[in-house]
Amino acid sequence: MAVKIKRIGTVVFASSFAVSFIFQNLRDNALIIMIMIGSLLATAAGYHMSYKENEKQKIKNSMILYNGKIHSLDKNSTVKSAVFIENNIIKDLGKDESIVKKYGMRAEKKIDLEGKTVLPGFNDSHLHLCGYGESLMNIDLTKVRSLDQLIHLGKESLVINEYQVGEWLLGRGWNQELFIDKRMPTREDLDAISTQIPIALTRVCNHMTVINSKAAEIIGIDNQTYVKGGEVERNENGSFTGMLKENAMLLVRNKMKASSIEDVMKTIERAQDKLISYGITSVHSDDLQYIGSGWEIVIKAYATLCKDKKLKIRVNEQCLFHDIDEFKGFLSKGGHCIELEKRFRTGPLKLLGDGSLGGRTALLYDSYDDDASKKGISALSQEQLDDFISLAHQNKMPVAVHAIGDRMIDMAVDSIDKSRKFNKIKKSIYMRDGIVHCQISTEATLDRFKALELIAYIQPVFTTSDWKIAVDRVGIERVATSYNWKTMINKGIHIAMGTDAPVESPNPFENIYAAVTRKDFDGQPPGGWMPEQRLTIEEAIRAYTDYSAFASGEEKDKGTLEKGKLADLIVINEDIFNLDRDKIRDVSVCMTIIDGEIVYPIKQINN
């Protein structure tokens, strides 16, 4: 329309001039005037016909982005200034004049990037989309710095939200390491919030939940309650403290009202809108055990969103199961073979091996340095890991095992190795097995990663808080070979970056900042923690795009900006490759494009 308005305006102006001229010279120049009017009318008609022909040539769902710094992240790290997108595919990249000249008549939209930087869309390699969507509705405890403040927020929420008897007060994000006295909250602390409303507040790591007495009553916890692969914590007198660890947290989930398909859909949409604003176009998400829903409800929610064209983000589902019989039912119904319009697909079997470092539930060979009575918790035995992984491999399903402690990492790698040999599995796009988190590691273990071509699903943003506790938890010797992302790259190990949201913020720029500086958000420690393990900016961005696509076997479709790949890309407000590393966390997204469609509003860009 802009072009049309501009052309019509020119004709109108010319016509006005002609009319004035006519009246002034009517008597002496009648013939000339008639010729001029005819010429003007013919020109106007020509403009109109030309415009209509041009419009016919334009292709719906096509656009040119030009005058930018388009980082393709191809094997040569090529940078172009313009890209042409047709439907959902990148058709061409090149210089402005070449792309505009070649495709200008066909493009429905032309967007001047004004020198801004374009990257492939981010692909978070491990988070919980439903969990993140739910967290946006619960009490955010990430900024709490004392138990008194935690209690105050709980009371305040009860008043504001007018909870009724029977409803649960839920929250997450507390971290006792940030409290003045570093004491874990207890059942009695939560009773100070309410003894009538059941309360469950989950630690930032998502591996420990503290509940109040009302919740314990509803669940039916007594001094004899025991959960395999978890802990119902008791004090020296044998009384329940209120703390549930690992599989024991399922006691809370099983008492929650089951979510309907509509509930899950709303949760997914709430989460994806936030992620898209961060430039995230794809995720590897762990959702199937979302509160009381059941895996079929979750998959039906995704399928409905796909059918209704409401699932904007691309989801590779990391399929979590705790019970092998439930997993067998999933396989018998073809749950592992689902792919919906390149928006949702079931990916690897996800297994929860151990806990977290902060909660001292990550499984170690030797005791924790700051608590000799603990070595962590194994949520699955070696035999259970073997059975799960072998069954997955028999069905051509890769695995992604949550393992943080050195012993659990080795147990998971052992099971993968045994299964591949037993099932005679050769290297295949379908067998990209991996370890999620893999924090407390050894050089020998990393060598096995390389030999087996395992994916290391890493979360560099964890170091912003873990650097303060890691040495206390496991000592200098074990820390020296842990969180070693640069060593992994140097060994040729495939890494893929994610945030584990809602454990951490899904903001990719905070994660990249942590990867390239090894500092927390206060700029500490000076020079970075174990600075030799810093990634380059390009390594970190590739781990968030190209390498994450490789982890799910989708590198032919996305991860780089090349001809024939899906048009998933973002425009950011800074030239991140030439930016002071300390400022990377403040970079923001101006535009997000998924499947050739602008899904996040334009900021600071002229259309």
Confidence category of residue 315, pLDDT binned at 50, 70, 90: very high
Distance, CA of 120 to CA of 281 (rounded, Å): 9
The answer, yes or no, to whether residue 55 has pLDDT greater than 60, is no
Mean pLDDT along residues 215-243: 91
The answer, yes or no, to whether residue 53 has pLDDT greater than 80, is no
Mean pLDDT along residues 54-66: 79
Amino acid 194: pLDDT: 94
Amino acid 36: pLDDT: 60
For 174, counting Cβ atoms within 10 Å of its Cβ (0-12 exposed, 13-18 middle, 19+ buried), the class is buried
Here the tokens at position 37 are 């009017």
* CB distance 211 to 200 below 8 Å: yes
Distance, CA of 501 to CA of 506 (rounded, Å): 5
DSSP letter at 74? -
Amino acid 164: pLDDT: 75
Amino acid 23: pLDDT: 41
Amino acid 427: pLDDT: 67
- Output the pTM of the full model: 0.85
Burial per residue of 373-412, b for 16 or more beta-carbon CB atoms within 10 angstroms, e otherwise: eebbbbbbeeebbbbbbbbbbebebbbbbbbbbbbbbbbb
For 241-262, how does the pLDDT look when each residue is reduced to its tens digit (9 = 90+)? 999 998 899 899 888 877 899 9
CATH number belonging to domain 130-253: 3.10.310.70
Q: 369-375 long-range contacts, Cβ below 8 Å, gap at least 24?
A: 369/471, 369/472, 369/473, 369/474, 369/475, 370/472, 370/473, 375/407
Place of tokens 């930032």: 204
Amino acid code (one letter) for 322: H
Amino acid 436: pLDDT: 99
Confidence category of residue 39, pLDDT binned at 50, 70, 90: low
Amino acid 16: pLDDT: 42
Mean pLDDT along residues 339-367: 96
Distance, CA of 436 to CA of 459 (rounded, Å): 9
The angle formed by the CA atoms of residues 603, 605 and 607, to the nearest 5 degrees, is 120
Mean pLDDT along residues 215-225: 91
Mean pLDDT along residues 351-374: 96
Amino acid 231: pLDDT: 93
For 26-36, how does the pLDDT look when each residue is reduced to its tens digit (9 = 90+)? 445 555 555 56
Mean pLDDT along residues 415-421: 96
Here the tokens at position 224 are 């004899």
Confidence category of residue 41, pLDDT binned at 50, 70, 90: low
Mean pLDDT along residues 266-295: 94
Amino acid 63: pLDDT: 97
Mean pLDDT along residues 191-206: 93
Distance, CA of 234 to CA of 242 (rounded, Å): 8
- Class in CATH terms, 58-121+568-607: mainly beta
Q: Mean of the per-residue pLDDT values for the chain?
A: 90
For 107-130, how does the pLDDT look when each residue is reduced to its tens digit (9 = 90+)? 999 999 999 999 999 999 999 999
Mean pLDDT along residues 579-590: 98
Mean pLDDT along residues 68-89: 97
Confidence category of residue 18, pLDDT binned at 50, 70, 90: very low
Here the tokens at position 283 are 């995720």
Q: Helix, strand, or coil here: 604? A: coil
Mean pLDDT along residues 344-356: 97
Average the pLDDT over each of 160-174, 180-194, 572-586 and give the range with the smallest value.
160-174
Question: How many Cβ atoms sit within 10 Å of the Cβ of residue 136?
Answer: 13
